[in-house]
């Protein structure tokens, strides 16, 4: 439950303000309006969580409306997938609507517009119309058909509807303002002819309304109070309002459009077009490939609805362009799964371990805690025997001091089993270890309470009994792109940044037998490795697990940091250079807080940057207020560089230097002295 002290996002502020101004709470209504032309992704989840979240917060209905005004792109498959995803996220829509439900009403309103002289039928080519539209910096010119008699437009529009004309031959346009600074107001298109079957209306219509004409009017029909969309529609708002003005009846609610920034995630792309490209070029295996940022991909990967909803909540909503780090998403899924996932053991990269003093044919049943976070979660059985697999990385002949795992002569615990000590190894001709021989302490059994069982050892390993193990395929995923923001490079295509190693398939992993009964909706933690879930590719007798996300691994991090040298070279290009003077100002401002080496560095970079600044640029800053000492130091330093380069001295300059000499600040004084 949210309490009143919780901070609001800017949309909630708008709503609170409307409420405070007398807007009745029971008239609040929202909608989520996807076009069924692709699958939903994590960015849509932000919008879904925003709209449905507001619905929950204010007890207001939220419609699911499919914006299906372009039969060339839309398909029933997408409608079904979208509904599945929203329902899976745990939201319930008040009503399922379609823009196509309103085609007749939209048509009637369009006829009304023509009658009032506010719309006309145009018959130019798209090139001609585009040319007349002008540019953002120059006005457009009117269509020669702009003043077509009303009766003629009425007649042509009806015949358009009746299918008398081929696609592209006629259009209905609103008559607004060809000189508007807003391109969307320059006689926008209301209707175009498309001879294609619609997934719901079939061949009933051959003229289809454009987004702008359909969207606001649909909001109005459904009496949506706050129509929330992403920032790129900001420029459409004027048109949204203009269209509403034409049909608005003051006894009804008037919707308002407000815009928020779309959510971007690092190391992936978030546009349907680009995701479709990944699918079509078979870079991924479909929309629900676990590497995709789609809802269905995340679901298959093992993400939970609550993790995604929590992510949306934590990431928040604003109007700023953003790239949210994936680590936040990963945090959300770990936090959820840590509470709920059943702990099991599986070995992905096996090496054989033989316990030489364990009876040859003996098998023991041990018990593994299902979830230490939940004392009531119980235990499950796990068989133990003489020959085991452990992880190859968990053994080193001579591990060194910081290696907490198994090495010759050292003891570790086998999780939920015994303490063992490695004695020797067997190697093949290549020198690869093929078997580790160890002895166990029979008194050290987990949970036995014996003194030996209480003994502290350096580490604990997961393991699996070879003769009881279940074989399975395991798929591990890495980020799909090597660049943090693959589609933000003007000179490069996002596909140039594809990570060639984003999918790693382990054909034969060995899992404890408990997992042979795993079901699709169970979540597991393979202890010490990460979270895993069953993939739909699984067949009876052939299990396939997806790795959702690894556990935090400070050991691996330490290792990569010491072995791998400083990052190869960031693929992120240099930030577009801020102007040198601007940068000097920014560094300068902080100067008074610095000392020692940091101060030296700052001074040096200012002097470096000063080489790119002209005196004329610098002079206005001599007026900087006396209290802004940092900036004045920076300016003084920059001036010094210029004087050295042979800049002529003048009175303004001398006055500025003099004021520096008299300042309280020591750094400023000494900088000024340098110039005398």
Partner RNA sequence: UGGUCCAUGGUGUAACUGGCAACACGUCUGAUUUUGGUUCAGAAGAGUCCAGGUUCGAGCCCUGGUGGACCAACCA
- The residues in 464-523 that bind RNA, with binding defined as CB under 7 A, are none
- Give whichever of 299 and 343 is closer to RNA, judged by the CB atom: 343
Give DSSP secondary structure letters for 317-345. Answer: --SS---B-HHHHHHHHHHHHHHHPEEE-
Tell whether residue 443 is a contact of RNA (CB under 7 A): no
Given a contact cutoff of 8 angstroms between Cβ atoms, the answer to whether 517 and 292 are in contact is no
In DSSP terms, 202 is beta-bridged to: 198
Give DSSP secondary structure letters for 180-209. Answer: -SSGGGSS-EEEEE--S-BTTTBTS-SEEE
Nearest approach in angstroms of CB 117 to RNA is 22
Give DSSP secondary structure letters for 135-153. Answer: BTTB-----TTTT--HHHH
Q: How many residues bind RNA (CB under 7 A)?
A: 110
Q: Is 25 helix (H, G, I), strand (E, B) or coil?
A: helix
Tell whether residue 23 is a contact of RNA (CB under 7 A): no
- Give whichever of 182 and 516 is closer to RNA, judged by the CB atom: 182
Task: Using alpha carbons only, give the angle 375, 373, 545 rounded to the nearest 5 degrees.
Answer: 115
d(CA 188, CA 210): 9
Region near RNA per CB under 7 A, out of 56-64, 154-162, 401-409, 538-546: 401-409
Q: Which helix (H) or strand (E) holds 242?
A: helix 237-247
Region near RNA per CB under 7 A, out of 70-78, 80-88, 153-161, 197-205: 70-78
Catalytic residue among 262, 319, 492, 589: 262
Token pair for 433: 């270890």
Nearest approach in angstroms of CB 541 to RNA is 28
Nearest approach in angstroms of CB 536 to RNA is 26
Nearest approach in angstroms of CB 450 to RNA is 9
**In whole angstroms, how far apart are CA 398 and each of 262, 388, 614?**
52, 21, 63
Q: Select from 31, 309, 445, 523 the one that contacts RNA (CB under 7 A).
A: 445
Task: Give the Cβ contact number of residue 385 at 10 Å.
Answer: 17
Region near RNA per CB under 7 A, out of 149-157, 357-365, 440-448, 606-614: 440-448
For residue 323, the Cα-to-chain-centroid distance in whole angstroms is 7
d(CA 461, CA 413): 6
Site map 328..347 versus RNA, x via CB under 7 A: x-xx--xx--x----x----
- The residues in 217-236 that bind RNA, with binding defined as CB under 7 A, are 231-236
Pinpoint the alpha helices (H) of 376-493: 451-454
Tell whether residue 370 is a contact of RNA (CB under 7 A): no
Catalytic residue among 35, 158, 423, 674: 35
- The residues in 124-183 that bind RNA, with binding defined as CB under 7 A, are 124-126, 129-130, 133, 135-138, 167-169, 171, 181-183
Nearest approach in angstroms of CB 377 to RNA is 11
Residue listed under structure tokens 């995709």:
292
Tell whether residue 372 is a contact of RNA (CB under 7 A): yes
The yes-or-no answer on residue 627 being catalytic is: no
Q: Select from 154, 466, 551, 599 the one that contacts RNA (CB under 7 A).
A: 551
Nearest approach in angstroms of CB 581 to RNA is 8
Catalytic residue among 31, 272, 445, 528: 272
Region near RNA per CB under 7 A, out of 85-93, 100-108, 207-215, 647-655: 207-215
Q: Helices H, strands E: what count in the chain?
A: 20, 25
Tell whether residue 528 is a contact of RNA (CB under 7 A): yes
Q: Select from 193, 224, 307, 543 the one that contacts RNA (CB under 7 A).
A: 193
Beta strands in 46-188 (DSSP E): 62-66, 96-98, 119-122, 171-174
- Give whichever of 252 and 452 is closer to RNA, judged by the CB atom: 452
Q: Select from 104, 424, 582, 604 the one that contacts RNA (CB under 7 A).
A: 582
Tell whether residue 565 is a contact of RNA (CB under 7 A): no
Region near RNA per CB under 7 A, out of 76-84, 320-328, 492-500, 608-616: 320-328
The yes-or-no answer on residue 600 being catalytic is: no
**In whole angstroms, how far apart are CA 661 and each of 592, 635, 649, 652?**
16, 14, 16, 15
- The residues in 587-606 that bind RNA, with binding defined as CB under 7 A, are 588-590, 593
- Give whichever of 61 and 530 is closer to RNA, judged by the CB atom: 530
Tell whether residue 430 is a contact of RNA (CB under 7 A): no
Given a contact cutoff of 8 angstroms between Cβ atoms, the answer to whether 69 and 100 are in contact is yes
Region near RNA per CB under 7 A, out of 50-58, 399-407, 509-517, 533-541: 399-407
The yes-or-no answer on residue 262 being catalytic is: yes
- Give whichever of 130 and 434 is closer to RNA, judged by the CB atom: 130
Cα first-last separation, the chain: 67
Given a contact cutoff of 8 angstroms between Cβ atoms, the answer to whether 466 and 388 are in contact is yes
d(CA 497, CA 482): 5
Nearest approach in angstroms of CB 435 to RNA is 21
- Give whichever of 268 and 416 is closer to RNA, judged by the CB atom: 416
- Give whichever of 295 and 635 is closer to RNA, judged by the CB atom: 635
| Strand-pair category, 379-385 with 363-369 | antiparallel
Nearest approach in angstroms of CB 165 to RNA is 10
Token pair for 390: 């452990």
CA atoms within 13 A on the CB side of 672: 22
So which residues are the catalytic ones? 35, 262, 272
């Amino acid at each position: 439950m949210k309490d009143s002290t919780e901070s609001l996002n800017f949309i909630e502020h708008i709503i609170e303000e409307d409420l405070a101004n007398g807007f009745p709470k029971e008239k609040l209504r929202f909608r989520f309006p996807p076009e069924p032309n692709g699958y939903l992704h994590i960015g849509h989840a932000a919008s879904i969580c925003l709209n449905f979240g507001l619905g929950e917060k204010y007890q207001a209905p939220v419609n699911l409306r499919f914006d299906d005004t372009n039969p060339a792109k839309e398909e029933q498959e997408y409608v079904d997938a979208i509904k599945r995803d929203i329902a899976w996220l745990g939201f319930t829509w008040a009503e399922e609507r379609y823009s196509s439900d309103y085609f007749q009403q939209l048509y009637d309103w369009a006829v009304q517009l023509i009658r009032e002289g506010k719309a006309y039928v145009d018959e130019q080519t798209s090139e001609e119309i585009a040319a007349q539209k002008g540019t953002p910096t120059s006005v457009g010119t009117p269509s020669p058909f702009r003043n077509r008699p009303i009766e003629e437009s009425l007649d042509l529009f009806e015949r358009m509807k009746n299918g008398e004309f081929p696609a592209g031959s006629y259009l209905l346009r609103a008559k607004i303002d060809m000189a508007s600074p807003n391109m969307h107001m320059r006689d926008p298109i209301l209707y175009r002819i498309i001879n294609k079957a619609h997934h719901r209306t079939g061949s009933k219509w051959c003229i289809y309304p454009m987004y702008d004409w359909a969207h606001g009017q649909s909001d109005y029909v459904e009496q949506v109070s706050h129509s929330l969309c992403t920032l790129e529609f900001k420029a459409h708002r004027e048109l949204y309002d203009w269209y509403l003005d034409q049909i608005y009846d003051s006894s009804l609610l008037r919707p308002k459009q407000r815009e928020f920034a779309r959510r971007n995630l690092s190391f992936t792309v978030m546009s349907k077009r680009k995701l479709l490209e990944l699918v079509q070029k078979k870079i991924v295996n479909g929309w629900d490939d676990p590497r995709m940022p789609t809802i269905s991909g995340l679901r298959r990967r093992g993400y939970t609805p609550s993790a995604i909803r929590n992510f949306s909540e934590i990431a928040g909503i604003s109007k700023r362009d953003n790239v949210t780090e994936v680590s936040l998403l990963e945090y959300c899924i770990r936090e959820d799964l840590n509470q709920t996932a059943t702990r099991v053991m599986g070995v992905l990269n096996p090496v054989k371990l033989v316990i030489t003093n364990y009876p040859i044919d003996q098998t023991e049943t041990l018990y593994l805690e299902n979830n230490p976070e939940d004392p009531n979660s119980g235990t499950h059985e796990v068989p133990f025997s003489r020959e085991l697999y452990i992880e190859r990385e968990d053994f080193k002949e001579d591990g060194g001091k910081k290696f907490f795992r198994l090495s010759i002569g050292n003891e570790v615990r086998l999780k939920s089993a015994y303490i063992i000590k490695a004695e020797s190894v067997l190697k093949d001709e290549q020198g690869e270890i093929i078997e580790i021989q160890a002895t166990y302490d029979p008194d050290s059994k987990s949970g036995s309470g014996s003194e030996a069982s209480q003994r502290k050892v350096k580490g604990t390993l997961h393991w699996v009994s070879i003769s009881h193990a279940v074989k399975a395929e395991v798929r591990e995923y890495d980020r799909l792109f090597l660049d943090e923001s693959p589609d933000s490079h003007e000179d490069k295509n996002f596909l140039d940044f594809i990570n060639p190693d984003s999918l790693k398939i382990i054909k034969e992993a060995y899992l404890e037998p408990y997992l042979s009964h795993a079901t699709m909706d169970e979540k597991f933690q393979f202890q010490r490795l990460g979270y895993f879930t069953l993939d739909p590719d699984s067949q009876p007798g052939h299990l396939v697990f997806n790795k959702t996300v690894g556990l935090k691994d400070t050991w691996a991090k330490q290792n990569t940091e010491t072995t791998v040298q400083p990052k190869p070279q960031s693929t992120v290009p240099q930030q577009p250079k801020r102007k040198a003077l601007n940068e000097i100002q920014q560094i300068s401002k902080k100067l008074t807080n610095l000392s020692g080496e940091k101060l030296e560095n700052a001074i040096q970079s200012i002097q470096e940057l000063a080489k790119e600044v002209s005196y004329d640029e610098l002079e206005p800053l001599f007026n900087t207020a006396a209290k802004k000492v940092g900036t004045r130091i920076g300016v003084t330093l920059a001036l010094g560089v210029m004087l050295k380069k042979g800049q002529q001295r003048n009175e303004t300059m001398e006055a500025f230097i003099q004021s520096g000499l008299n300042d309280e600040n020591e750094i400023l004084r000494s900088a000024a002295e340098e110039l005398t």
